[in-house]
Chains A and B, each alone.
Chain A
Amino acid sequence: AAGVIQSPRHLIKEKRETATLKCYPIPRHDTVYWYQQGPGQDPQFLISFYEKMQSDKGSIPDRFSAQQFSDYHSELNMSSLELGDSALYFCASSTQGGETQYFGPGTRLLVL
């Protein structure tokens, strides 16, 4: 079965640079979620989108922005990167009426 696709899988950036992470949800899933997971920590919710509109917002820094496109894929844009942004970034998807979120393999971001 098709799963959530994330790209890139690994990303290395310098401080103050920008990064764009992409997420392609499971076919027919219209809701996308972004999470950040630091080393040894649980995933922390950043933001979610349903039908291209922001549906919920968590602890997403003002330096980050995200959007969902007409094909339901989503991009997380991260600017003025800091060392503390180094983490695994997961995207998950679900149907709007579904409660279960299915996670992608993650993007590992390293900020040097």
Chain B
Amino acid sequence: EDQVTQSPEALRLQEGESSSLNCSYTVSGLRGLFWYRQDPGKGPEFLFTLYSAGEEKEKERLKATLTKKESFLHITAPKPEDSATYLCALKVSGTYKYIFGTGTRLKVLA
């Protein structure tokens, strides 16, 4: 069964304290793995798309990496404005839909 699991469920960091969020998956055929940021009551905001193991993408304080079984979202020197829920989703070959993980709620304290 195609499945996405994110950990931890919640994470509290001090400003400047770097950390990583994990997204592990099992999938019959991976078309892409996606990271989104979601603020309360708003739509998911696209961050990264990763297609193959070994791929890395960076944007400001965020870096996403992909292996054959998991993806990491590394947050370097986070700021309070990075507080949000980070969602991982994958797209299975032969389908149009995303399968989402349950997200990691990140809180960065000043």
* A42 touching B36, Cβ below 8 Å: no
Does residue B78 face the partner (Cβ distance < 8 Å to A)?
Answer: no
Report chain A residues within 8 Å CB of B46.
100-103
Cross-chain contact B45 with A103 (CB below 8 angstroms): yes
A-B pairs under 8 A by CB, number: 57
* Interface residues as binary, B66-110 with A (CB distance below 8 Å gives 1, 0 otherwise): 000000000000000000000100010001111111110000000
Determine whether A31 belongs to the interface, using a CB cutoff of 8 Å to chain B: yes
Q: A99-B49, A100-B32 are in contact. Are A106 and B96 (CB under 8 A)?
A: no
Please tell me the size bucket of the interface on A. Answer: 20 to 34
Closest-CB distance, A109 to chain B (whole angstroms) = 13
- What chain B residues lie within 8 Å of A90 (beta carbons)? 43-44
Closest to B33 in A: A99
Residue of A nearest to B49 (CB): A100
Partner of B96, one of A44, A48, A102, A104: A48
Count residues of B near A (Cβ-Cβ below 8 Å). Answer: 23
Evaluate contact between A99 and B31: CB separation under 8 angstroms: yes
Which residues of the other chain, A, contact B49 by a CB distance below 8 angstroms?
Answer: 99-100
B42 touches A99 (CB 8 A): no
B-binding segment of A12-20, A50-58, A72-80: A50-58
The distance in angstroms between the C-alpha atoms of A33 and B89, with both chains bound, is: 14
In the complex, which residues of chain B have a beta carbon less than 8 angstroms from the beta carbon of A108? 41
Residues of A within 8 Å of B42, CB to CB, are: 105-106
Q: A54 — nearest CB in chain B belongs to which residue?
A: B96
B96 contacts across to A, CB distance below 8 A: 31, 33, 48, 50, 55-56
**CB <8 Å contact, A42 and B31:** no
Distance between A43 CB and nearest chain B CB, rounded to angstroms: 5
**14 contacts across the A-B interface (CB closer than 8 A):** A33-B97, A35-B98, A41-B102, A42-B87, A42-B101, A43-B87, A50-B96, A56-B97, A99-B51, A100-B46, A101-B46, A103-B43, A103-B46, A104-B43
Could you list which residues of chain B lie within 8 angstroms of chain A, going by C-beta atoms?
Answer: 31-32, 34, 36, 41-46, 49, 51, 87, 91, 95-103
8 A-B pairs besides A35-B98, A42-B100, A99-B31 with CB distance below 8 A are A33-B98, A45-B98, A48-B97, A99-B51, A99-B91, A101-B34, A101-B46, A101-B98
